[in-house]
Amino acid sequence: MTRPAILGGVNQPRPGSDADVSALLDAAGITITEDGKARARQRLAEAHARWTPERWTRLREQIGLPPRTA
């Protein structure tokens, strides 16, 4: 029995370029603008900046994972 891939997985092809992603979204009727891409990049950068090494350490402790070693 196979599981459906909710967020993508090893059995699903991954887009190779922005053009591929744009074509995929266009086919689904979703319009992508350069301004929208810039806003998305900014939001991703802000989210990435919030995940400090200390925050990762607290998360690992909270879910019971051992500390990272390197």
pLDDT of 36-58, one tens digit each? Answer: 989 999 999 999 999 999 999 99
How many domains, in total, are found in the chain?
A: 1
pLDDT at 14: 59
Q: Is residue 11 a part of any domain in this protein?
A: no
Q: Is residue 39 a part of any domain in this protein?
A: yes
pLDDT at 58: 95
Contact criterion met (CB below 8 Å) for 32 and 25: yes
Q: Is residue 29 a part of any domain in this protein?
A: yes
pLDDT at 13: 57
pTM exceeds cut of 0.75: no
Q: Which residues contact 8 (CB under 8 A, 6 or more apart)?
A: 14
Reported as a single tens digit per residue, the pLDDT across 20-38 is 888 888 899 999 899 998 9
Which domain covers residue 50, as residue numbers? Answer: 18-62
**How many angstroms separate the CA atoms of 35 and 37, rounded?**
5
